[in-house]
Structures are given as structure tokens and as C-alpha cells.
Amino acid sequence: MTISTALMINGRSLKGEAGTFAVINPATGQAFADCPAASKAQLDDAVTAATEAFKTWQHTPDDEIKAMLHKIADGIEANADELAEIVVNEQGKPLALAQMEVGGAVAWTRYAAELEIPVKVVEDSEARLAELHHKPVGVVGSITPWNWPLMIAVWHVMPALRTRNTVVIKPSSLTPFNTLRLVEIINEVVPAGVVNSVTGESGIGSGMSAHTGINKIVFTGSTPTGQSIMRSAADNLKRLTLELGGNDAGIVLEDADLDKVAPAIFQTAFLNMGQTCAALKRLYVHESQYDELCQRLAALAAEQKVGAGLEPGVTFGPVQNQNQLELVMELVDDARAGGAKILSGGERLAGEGYFYPPTIVADITDGTRLVDEEQFGPVLPVIRYSNIDDAVARANDNVNGLGGSVWGSDIQRAKEIAMRLECGTAWINNHAEVLPHCPFGGCKMSGFGVEFGEEGLLEYTAPQLVSINRG
């Protein structure tokens, strides 16, 4: 495996002027490579390069943009093995899941390539022709998290390119190498300066948020960081798309078929070791189904093979970083001290690496930190309820509003309940499923704006009405 250890600014590979920082493999807890750290001056250079490139890139014909995006997808596909191995080493997920991430990045890039930028005819009369067009905003700043480092970079960059914007991207300092390699692949296709990469442990992200040369920030990550970005973005009224934290609730109805829903609930709660913004993070189960479903989930947890992502047969990798592991341990210990019952897992595994087994916590309720706070890790609290109105109220009694789900056999009733949930996406008999053609975003403290589909594409544009007087 070759690790890309260079920034890309104006089509040139550069060392970081602020030195380097170590990147940790979460399966060992040890550094496996050093990453370049960009200086503030290099951030300025990247924004300048993107600004200059935008002057011509914004006029690129549609068919050329589409062809370039497909060529980028070809490049990702051609380097799939390398990219997947980088994901495993820096993020920790099992190889099969990393391969799925790479495959998803290819598919999402090809989907973005074929999206059309609509022109809406508002009026077509003898008096006037009024058309609503959508123009690129200019330089887009992308700040990505550590949980899906390749996929989320693709989610940010490809619609920006499709709408003829230029990009400066900063990955998480915990998982920078996939993004550096992705930007190298992109630069084999697009003109110099169209996509630039900068990295750093502190100062670069906040510098992007406040930079008056950046016209839009798209950010996926924590709510406190999103709030900070929003404050910093005020000086030049940057456009923002913020996909922030979630504490997604699922409600299991009394008519749910546990043979069907138990495996799906487990999968969607523990996707990527629970380190997914829209994973199912607290589960409300009707009292008639509660004990049986808890036991089924605990049995599924016990079947998982926990280990390093490149080891054969591993289905469950480590928590990505030490701080997140300590938060998970703290929340489980607090629940245990409050009388909750640990049905599986519940203790960090001995040895090196940040391993914590899939953990099911029963006999717990709202008011416990593990229920009220986003754990973002391999733990699922299961809460008993007897009245559906009470369950909905408790599901909604949270500052977050990213996703939610209802599980049951009566689809119409499940839909009626799902539409009462205060969240951006409500799934029925599923959770955490995001699709390239379905808009996805949150409400309340989970952010605003959407990604994916035509609606997500237009987040990277500014509307312009062209009104032609025919009188």
C-alpha cells in the first residue's frame, strides 16, 4: 500500500509548511504514517488557485463535465484495492465494509455525473419569458469527518464539480490519506486548481470557515463544530450545508415480525461500529416484544468477530480513536451504575487497539446519558414503552433530528407514526439507508440543507431569474 503524503494545490504536490502529524491505526493504537500539515499561507494559496480556476471552469460545457466525472469514477475504480486498504488502516473498519465504501464512491460519482441542472420556466406569456437558472457559487470549502472518509469526500466534491464550482477540501486529521489520494486521482482529470487539498490538526478548518475567498462550506461532523463554522461564516455570508450529529430513535411496534426486524435493527444500529451519523442510536420497543427482542439483539452481538479490519472473517472493527472510545466507555459505565443491564459486551477488549464489542443495554430509559446523548459507537440502549404516543414524545424529546424509524407489519400505521417523528428522514422497517437520488438532511440541532438528488445538487448553486420583456 502506497500512502499519499502530499498536499495538492494548483495541480502541484507539495509538502506541508507546518510540518507533519502522526496518523494512528485504531486497530493497533500506533502511528502508521505521517501526514503533511498545511500552513495558513498554503490555505490562502489553495483558495487563490481555486478562485483563478473558477474563472474558466464555470464555463465548462455540460458534456465535458459529465465525461470528466465518469473518468474520475474510472480512476477510483482502478485504484479500488489501494483505497480500501487505506480506509482500513486509517479508519479501522473491516475490509469488506471498506470495499463497499469504495464501491459506493464510484456509484455516487457516476450518479452525480448524470444529474441535470434544471431550468424552470416561471412564466411563458405574450408579455414575458421568465426562467429560473442555477449558477455555481464559486469556491466551495469541504470539511469532512473520520467515519466514512472516502464516501463523504465524494458526497461533497462531486456535486460541487457537477455544478461547475471549484473546491478546497480538508479531511479529518484522523483519516486524511484517502482524501489526499482521491484528490490526486481527480487532478489527473480536471484542470489545475479546480480541486485542492489541505490538511492539519488545528487552525485550517477554522481558517476555511472564516476565509472570505470561500463562498460555501459543506460540513459533516459534530454540532459544536457546525455552530462554530456558522459563526465564522457570517463575515461574507457563506452558504452552508451542515450535516451534524444525530441521536436517531427507532420505534418497534407490537405487531413487528422479530424474525425480520431484529437482524435489520442490529445492522442499522451497528453500521460502521455505530460510527454513522444516521445510525439507529436508541430503540423504543413495545413491552410485549421487549424481552424477546433484547435477547435476539444480544445473540446477534455475540456472533460478531471483533478484530483488525484486514484479518480474515472480521465483521466488527475498532472504535476509530481514543477519545471516542473513552466516551463510549464512560456512557456505558454511567448506564451500568444507574441500574441498566448489560446484555452483551460492555467492556473494552484487552490488548492493543481501540476495540469495544457490540453492546446491548436493557432496563434503561430516558434521562440516562446513554439515551440522551449521541454515543457514536458500538452501543445500543433499548427502552421499554407501553403507549405509542408516549414513545413518539420520548423519541422527539431530543435536540437532534437527523433520522428516525418505525418497525411494524401494518405499513399504513407505521407511516402515520413515522410522519410524527421530528427528523429529516423517517424510515419504515429500515434505518440509516442513504441513496444518491433521495435528499438527505437533518432538522433541529442536526443541521440544515440537504445532500443527494436534485435538491442536494442545487445546494451548490445560486438562483438567478432571467426575465425577458416581450412587450
CA dihedral 73, 78, 81, 85 (to 10 degrees): -60
Q: Which of 273, 241, 223, 72 is nearest to 141 (CA)?
A: 241
Contact by Cβ (8 Å): 29, 353: yes
Residues 6+ apart with CB under 8 A from 234: none
Joined together, the cell numbers standing for residue 462 give 445560486
Joined together, the cell numbers standing for residue 469 give 420583456
90 assigned to active site: no
The string of DSSP codes covering 54-107 is: HHHHTT--HHHHHHHHHHHHHHHHHTHHHHHHHHHHHH---HHHHHHHHHHHHH
Cα–Cα distance for residue pair 226/231, rounded to 1 Å: 9
Cα–Cα distance for residue pair 156/96, rounded to 1 Å: 23
Q: Which of 85, 90, 101, 243 is catalytic?
A: 243
What is the DSSP-derived secondary structure letter of residue 444?
E
Q: Which of 213, 204, 197 is nearest to 139 (CA)?
A: 213
CA distances, 366 to each of 62, 179, 282, 384, 441 (Å)? 52, 39, 10, 10, 25
292 assigned to active site: no
Strand runs labelled E in 299-412: 341-344, 359-362, 379-385, 400-401, 403-407
Instruction: Quote the Cα angle for 154-75-32, to 5°.
Output: 70
What angle, 0 to 180 degrees and rounded to 10, lies between the N-to-C axes of helices 62-78 and 149-162?
Answer: 160
Joined together, the cell numbers standing for residue 242 give 451542515
Q: Which of 35, 90, 101, 277 is catalytic?
A: 277
| Residues marked as catalytic | 243, 277
